[in-house]
Amino acid sequence: MASKADRKFQEVKPDMTPMIDVTFLLLIFFIVTLKFKTLEGRLDSNLPKDMGSSTAETPEIEKIDIIIQVANPGTRTPDPKTATTSRPEGRLEYFAGRILRVSVGTNSFTVRTDALDSNGLFADLSRLRASLTGYDRDETPVTLDAREGVVYGDVIGVLDVVIDEDFIKVSFAGTQAQD
């Protein structure tokens, strides 16, 4: 009799079922919400700190204005590489036949945005590099003036070259366009 009573005390087993239920629920939640870290880079730039009209005397310094205009807007076409996966509409489209006109001082030239090198960068920017030679990289301020119709990708393409040429003071011109 005594041995039977002992066994009853020892064999109290907690019911594992609810815990396993919750555990599975958590597992499924984490599997569903899983999103692997995407590799992204960034380009640093600064906005002008002062605002309004400044009364301070500014010494006349050499500066570079890069004006980006659209010569031919091109047509939006699904990207052939990712056409099958273009789930959110328009996201993976690119502009076919798009031509930009980039002006640096008196130098003006065209850039085809659909001519890409093996890295996916604009292949046409050697003339921009050429027109940026001969300036003091540390001191010369560079202003990117994007005009009507220019998209983010165009500006990044030009900005990339400016930063690659080691210019440090890069800023952006304001917009004249209405909303």
Residues that bind another protein (CB under 8 A): 16, 19-20, 23-24, 26-27, 30-31, 33-51, 76, 88, 90-95, 118-121, 146, 148-157, 159-160, 163-164, 172-175, 177-179
Pairing relation of β-strands 93-96 and 107-112?
A: unpaired
Phi and psi at residue 161, in whole multiples of 5°? Answer: -65, -40
Beta carbons within 10 angstroms of residue 158's beta carbon: 22
Cβ 170 vs Cβ 155: under 8 Å:
no
User: How near is the Cβ of 106 to another protein at its closest, in Å?
Assistant: 24
Partners of 170 in the β-ladder: 142
Min dist CB 87 to another protein, Å, is: 8
Q: Which is nearer to another protein, 95 or 106 (CB)?
A: 95
Comparison of 71 and 92: residue with beta carbon closer to another protein: 92
Would you say 124 and 100 are in contact if contact means Cβ atoms under 8 Å apart? no
* Contact between 75 and 96 (Cβ < 8 Å): yes
Report yes or no: 70 and 153 within 8 Å, Cβ to Cβ: no
Comparison of 91 and 130: residue with beta carbon closer to another protein: 91
Distance of closest approach, residue 113 Cβ to another protein, in angstroms: 10
Minimum distance of another protein from residue 74's CB (angstroms): 11
Residue 85 neighbours by CB under 8 Å, 6+ apart: 92
Q: How far is the CB of 148 from another protein (least distance, A)?
A: 8
| Residue number, 87 or 134, with CB nearest to another protein | 87
Which of 38/106 has CB closer to another protein? 38
